[in-house]
Structures are given as structure tokens and as C-alpha cells.
Structure 1
Amino acid sequence: MKDILYKLFDYNYLTRDEAKQVLIDIVKGGVPETQIASLITSFLMRSISVDEILGFRDALLEMRVMVDLSDYSPLDIVGTGGDGKNTFNISTTACFVVAGAGYNVVKHGNYGATSISGASNVIEQQGVKFHADNDLFRKSLDKCNIAYLHAPLFSPALKAVAPVRKSLGVRNFFNVLGPLVNPVQPEFQMLGVYDLAMLRLYSYIYQEENKKFTIVHSMDGYDEISLTSQFKVVSNRGEQLFMPDDLGFKRLNQEDLYGGDTPEDASKIFRDVLSASATEAQTNAVLVNAAFGIQTVDQTKTIEECIEIARDSLYGKKALKVLEKFIEINS
């Protein structure tokens, strides 16, 4: 581990195999937390390479708890986190809107490490109990089109580094890894990133893997479509730039998306949106992200058509019914 750290401190890059072995060593134990913190910090000093990301991901996937839900052809909507904006859980809420529209979703998430409330905080606030029961995941998908995988139950490395990540409280390469290590390896992925360098990195990875994907980035630094600025969308269909009013939405302010000071605050917004009783700003942010999620799966539809499908899911109370059934099955 010391040799690896010296290599990183000299601004050298790890090979894919070296990166893989580092994470395996951490999970096996015996690597002090101070060295784990140093490893994480070193990647804040420079950009991470594609080989390093792929090596870390290889380790996480090799050690993961296997879950096979491939026959459902699911979608995951996730953000890297680490944008420092403290928004409410837009991606998680959008997942339920997409499921309400009849598309299968397997959401992979965790407790907040660089934010007040991660996906797992909000889901847990609804009374859901996390599990690794494959039959229960299938029941959940059959009955309400969505399953939720709490990352530490499936990725030992994420659990091993969680205390260090939490104490550091800054974005790090584990934010980058999260979207790549959904144990189901879903057929469709919608991803939000916090800067253009990350957007390019993920687009290289997804193109190499032939995955059906959509990557979004708001140009003022959000890891989702925030409607606060122009935003970029990169997918199998190419690249596009949008302004909110291009899609019929008002431009929002940062405070419109504030997620609150506690997981309870974030959970209330999540529930309000799905109950169609949230603010127009909160609702529209979820609708536009859900719409691009739907288009990731159903690429024959225009984004305008997908927005209307998302509206019908939300205002027709289909998304709320999905949530209620999901809680019933998983609590």
C-alpha cells in the first residue's frame, strides 16, 4: 500500500490491475484508515484515469453479492453526488415516476456521504427494510416495477470505506464508482455528473461496454438536470444542449431545490412530490429527469412525449401507488 501511495504522490497513474488489487486489499482488512484516507485524497489532486476507474470497478464487481434481474431489462437513475448543492433526492424520486409509467427500475443507492440525505436515507425514512433477498426483489418488480438495492449489502468495499468517506465529507472516486457497480448491471443507465470531465469519462466507459445510457450535467455544476441553467445530455443518440424553456419549463433558482437540513426534511419533499403536493419547481425537476430516464429505455419516443408520460405517472397518482406498494412489500 505504501508503494501505491508513493506512486500516486508522484502523480503517476495506476494500471487497471493495480487499482483492482488496492480495493481487494482494503476489503481483506489490514489497511489502516489513515492510508485509505490518503488514497482517497490523492485522487482529489488530479483526474482519475479510465483504467483506474475500471480497475476499481472490476474489484467491486468481482467481490459483489450477485443478483440476477437481467430478465427485467431494468433502468437505474443515479447521480455521482459530490456537487455540493444539497438538493433533495431528485434521482430517487424520478425512479418512482418512471416505475409508475410502467418501466422496470432497479435503483442502487447508499446513505449520504457528501450530502445530508442519500437515496438510502430517504428510502429508509419510508419504513423500508433493506435486504438482499432475490425473490423479494422479483416480487417488488412484478408488483410495482421497482426494486431497491442498498449498496453496502452488495459491495463489501463500499462498507469498508464508509466511515472514512463520511469523516472526510468530500466527493471522491467512490462517488464516481457508485453508478458503475450496481450489482444487477442494468441494461439501461441514466447518470448525472457534476462536471464535464466526468461526463467524458463515463461516456468513454459506457461506449466501450455498449450500454444503453444517458448522461446529464447541468452547466452550473449539478449532477442532475436542475433546470437552473443550460444542461447537456450525452447518450447513444449523440449530444444535445438544452435550456429549460426549450422543454417548456421555467428556469429555477438553487434555493428551489434545497433538500433541507435532515433526512426527514428530504424525505418529506420526496413524499410531497410523489403525492403531487410539492412546489412546481420541485415537481418539474423530477419530471424532466424522469422523462430522460424514460427516453433512455424507450429511445423511439421524443423527449416531449416522455415528459407527458412522466406527468401522467405523477398526476395520475401512478407513482404514488408504486411507492405505497413498494413500502408494503419491502417493510
Structure 2
Amino acid sequence: MKDLLYKMFEHKNLTREEARHILLHISDGEYNECQLSAFMTVFLMRSITTEELAGFREAILERRVPVDLGVENAIDIVGTGGDGKNTFNISTAACFTVAGAGYKVIKHGNYGASSVSGASNVLEYHGVKFTDRTDVLRKSLDVCNISYLHAPFFSPALKSVGNVRRQLGVRTFFNMLGPLVNPVMPRYQLLGVYNLKLLRLYNYICQENGINCTIVHSLDGYDEISLTSPFKVSNGSGDRIYAPEELGFRTCRPEELSGGESIATAARVFDRVLNGDAAPGQMDCVIANAAFAIKTLCPRLDFEDARMQASDSLYGGKAKEAFSKFLKINN
């Protein structure tokens, strides 16, 4: 670690193999928290390279706890976090919206490190007991179309750095890795990123690994389709920038998407969304992300049809029903 730290302090990049090697050692718990903190801080001071990101990803997947849920056409909907916006749990709500619409979702998530409420926080608040038992995860997927994989149960590296990330309280390169290391490695993903450079890096990783991926970024800095500004969508068909109004949505105000100052506050917003009685901006934001996830799964589907499916799931109570069944299985 010391040699690699000196190398990075001299503004040199890691090779793919060096990146893989150091993440394997992190997974095995071989470094102390001071070393981990110094290592993570380097990537706040300079951009991560494609080779470094690929090497880190390979190591985490190499050490992952394998799980086979017997489903090929499932999707993960996840953002990097680290955008500093402290939104409510938009991606998680979109997952249950897509599940309510009848599609299979395998979500990989964790506690919030740089925000008040991550996916694991809001689910745990509702009494969810995280598990790595394949029978429970399969039952959840069969009954309510969604399984949740709590990252530390499946990725030793993410568990090893959890405490340091929480103490730092800022975005680290593990924010970039989280969406790329779902242990099931689903064929479809809707990934939100906090800047355009990362969008390009994700594109490379997804293309290299044959992932059917839609990557989204709101141009005012959100790691999801926030509808607070125009947003960029990148997939196998190319890149395109949309204004909310082009797709039938109004532009939202940032304060409409706030998750508040506590997990309880974020959970209340989450519940109102699934109940179908949240603020229009909150509802639209979840519908927009869910619609692009559905379109990722069904690329020939017209966007308006995908939007209608997402809206029907949310306003028609199907998303809430999926969540209620999920709680019964996972509590």
C-alpha cells in the first residue's frame, strides 16, 4: 500500500492489474483505516482512469459471494450517489415501480455514505432484514418481482471500507464502483452518474462486459433523472439530451426532491410516493426513471408506452402492492 500511495502522490496512475491487486487486499481486510482513508482521498483529488475502474471492478467481482437467482432478464436501477443533492430514495422507488409493472428487478444497494438515506437505510427503516439466503431472495423475486442484495453481504471490499466511508462522509471512488458490481451481474441496468466523465467511463465498462445499459445524468449534477434540468441519456443507440417537457414532464424544483435531514423524513417521502399521493415533482421523477428502466428492458417499446406503464404501476397501487409483499417476505 505504501509504495502505491507514493506512486499516486506523484500523480501516476495505477495499472489495471495494480488496481485489481490492491482491491483484493482491501477485500481481505489487510489495510488499516488510515491507509484506506489516504487511498480513497487520492481519488477525490484526481479523476479515476478507465483501467483503474476496470481493475477495481474485477477484484470486487472476483471476491464476491456468488448468488444465482435463476433469472436472465432482470434489471438493476441504481445511482452512484455522491452528487451532494441529498434526494429521497428515487432509484429504490423506481425499482418497486418497475416491479409493480411486472418486470424482474434485482437491486444492489447499501447504506448512504455521503447522503442521509441510501437504499439499505430506507428499507431497514421499514423493518427489512437483509439476507444472503438464495431461497429467500428467489422467493422475493418470484412473489413480488424484486430482490434486494445488501452490498456488504456479497462484497467483502464494500464491507471492509464501510466505516471509513461513513466517517469521511464524502464521495469516494466506491460510489463509482457500487453500480458496477451487482453480484448477480444482471443483463440490464439503468445507471445514474454524477458527471459526464463518469458517464463515458461507464459506457466503456458496460460495452466491454456486454451489459445492456442505459446511463443517465442530469446536467445540473444529479446522478439520476431529476427533471430539474435537461438530462443526458446514453445507451446502445447513442447519446441524447432531453428536456423534461419533451417527454411530458414539467421541470421540477430541487427542493421538491429533498430527502430531508433524517432517514425517517426520507422514508416518509418514499411512502407517499408509493401511496401515489406525493408531490407531482416527486411522482414524475420516479416515473421518469422507471420508464427509462422499462425501455432498457424493452428497447423497441415506445417511450410513451413505457411512461404509461410506470405511471399505472405507481398511481394504480401496483408498486405499493409489490412493496407490501416484499416487506412480508423480507421482514
The C-alpha deviation readout for 1:209-236, integer Å capped at 9, x for no partner, is: 1211100000000000000001000011
The offset of 1:27, in angstroms, is 2.8
SS, match of residue 239 in structure 1: strand
| Equivalent pair of 1:109/1:120 in contact (CA under 8 Å) | yes
The C-alpha deviation readout for 1:285-331, integer Å capped at 9, x for no partner, is: 00000000100101111211110010111111111100000000111
Alignment-mate amino acid for residue 172 of structure 2:
N
SS, match of residue 161 in structure 2: helix
Is 1:259 aligned to residue 259 of structure 2?
Answer: yes
Alignment-mate amino acid for residue 233 of structure 1:
V
Give TM-score, length-normalised by structure 1: 0.98
- Mapped to 2, the partners of 1:88 and 1:39 lie a distance apart of 30
Q: How does 1:308-327 map to 2 (within 5 A)?
A: 308-327=308-327
Relative distance call for 1:26 and 1:293 in structure 2 (3 A) is same
SS, match of residue 142 in structure 1: helix
Alignment-mate amino acid for residue 166 of structure 1:
R
SS, match of residue 75 in structure 1: strand
- Mapped to 2, the partners of 1:187 and 1:29 lie a distance apart of 30
Relative distance call for 1:70 and 1:45 in structure 2 (3 A) is farther
User: Over the residues paired in the alignment, what is the CA RMSD in angstroms?
Assistant: 0.9
Is 1:137 aligned to residue 130 of structure 2?
Answer: no
- Mapped to 2, the partners of 1:70 and 1:48 lie a distance apart of 34
| Equivalent pair of 1:70/1:186 in contact (CA under 8 Å) | no
The offset of 1:45, in angstroms, is 1.4
The offset of 1:38, in angstroms, is 0.7
Unaligned 5+ runs, structure 1: none
The offset of 1:71, in angstroms, is 2.5
| Equivalent pair of 1:116/1:263 in contact (CA under 8 Å) | yes
| Equivalent pair of 1:70/1:187 in contact (CA under 8 Å) | no
Ranges of 4+ aligned residues in structure 1 off by more than 6 Å: none
| Equivalent pair of 2:40/2:173 in contact (CA under 8 Å) | yes
Alignment-mate amino acid for residue 7 of structure 1:
K
Alignment-mate amino acid for residue 149 of structure 1:
L
Relative distance call for 1:72 and 1:142 in structure 2 (3 A) is farther
Give TM-score, length-normalised by structure 2: 0.98
- Mapped to 1, the partners of 2:92 and 2:34 lie a distance apart of 33
Task: Show the counterpart of 1:124.
Answer: 124
Count how many residue pairs are aligned between Structure 1 and Structure 2. Answer: 331
Alignment-mate amino acid for residue 302 of structure 2:
T
Question: Which is further off, 9-18 or 91-100?
Answer: 9-18
Q: How does 1:98-113 map to 2 (within 5 A)?
A: 98-113=98-113
- Mapped to 2, the partners of 1:71 and 1:86 lie a distance apart of 33
